[in-house]
Chains A and B, each alone.
Chain A
Amino acid sequence: DTAVSQTPKYLVTQMGNDKSIKCEQNLGHDTMYWYKQDSKKFLKIMFSYNNKELIINETVPNRFSPKSPDKAHLNLHINSLELGDSAVYFCASSGGSNQPQHFGDGTRLSIL
């Protein structure tokens, strides 16, 4: 059973489009995250939700909007995609603020 699953695995789209990435975890964790990993492998946190509430919102353009319908899901919607949005986006979850994180397989977003 996959612990943290995100879909799609690959996303190729054109500039200006709107797209969503879904994430689900079956670990019973309270906290979920979205990270962006650039071409140099640098991992940067974007958002974190705890019990469906937004607790971390780093300097991310407001074209990015997370939504957490319940504790097990944290989706990411991106409006008006730009070339610089090309990256791998990882979803993660953890059992607490200082617990290790469990990562999904990533979504490779390529903007044409």
Chain B
Amino acid sequence: AQSVSQHNHHVILSEAASLELGCNYSYGGTVNLFWYVQYPGQHLQLLLKYFSGDPLVKGIKGFEAEFIKSKFSFNLRKPSVQWSDTAEYFCALSTTGGFKTIFGAGTRLFVKA
């Protein structure tokens, strides 16, 4: 069965610090990977997605993620965070032909102004 693990449950950073949120998945076949963000009191929004091709994916708001197949990882990065990046971040996986998206437990990011 597929699974998604996010190692950091809570991350606190100061503005301008660099961010890396870990995401590992478990599945032996072809995967589609996503990062979603949920701002306080809001719904989930797509940050970026990886289907195939260049393993370095750029998303909105300066976020990027790198797919490393050998490590089953899809870590999210941002070189310089802002206070407005305070949110919950979810890594997710789906498989081709499957209708289920598996979400990680989420990482709560708090950015200090």
* Interface membership of chain A positions 67-98, coded 1 if the CB is closer than 8 angstroms to chain B and 0 otherwise: 00000000000000000000000101010011
A25 at the interface (CB under 8 A from B): no
Most chain B Cβ neighbours within 10 Å, of A42, A100, A101: A100
Q: Given A56-B100, A97-B94, do A104 and B34 touch, yes or no (CB 8 Å)?
A: no
**Which residues of chain B come closer than 8 Å to A31, judged between CB atoms?**
99
Chain B residues positioned under 8 Å from A50 (CB to CB) = 99
Which residue of chain A lies nearest to B43 when distances are taken between CB atoms in the complex?
A: A103
Contact, CB under 8 Å: B49 / A100:
yes
- Contact partners of A97 in chain B: CB under 8 A: 94, 96-99
**Distance in angstroms between the alpha carbons of A56 and B32 in the assembled complex:** 18
Tally A-B pairs: CB < 8 A: 54
How many B residues are at the interface, by size bracket? 20 to 34
The B interface is mostly helix, strand or loop, or mixed, namely: strand
Interchain CB contact (< 8 A) of A43 among B32, B42, B94, B103: B103
Cβ of A66 under 8 Å from chain B: no
Chain A residues near B97: list those with CB within 8 A. 97-98
Q: Can you identify 24 A-B contacts, CB atoms within 8 angstroms?
A: A33-B101, A40-B105, A41-B88, A41-B105, A42-B105, A43-B44, A43-B103, A44-B103, A45-B100, A45-B103, A55-B99, A90-B44, A97-B94, A97-B96, A97-B97, A97-B98, A98-B94, A98-B97, A100-B34, A101-B46, A103-B43, A103-B44, A105-B43, A106-B43
In the complex, besides A90-B43, A100-B49, 16 extra interface pairs with C-beta distance below 8 angstroms are: A33-B101, A41-B38, A41-B106, A42-B106, A43-B103, A44-B103, A45-B100, A50-B99, A56-B99, A92-B44, A97-B97, A97-B99, A98-B97, A101-B46, A103-B44, A105-B42
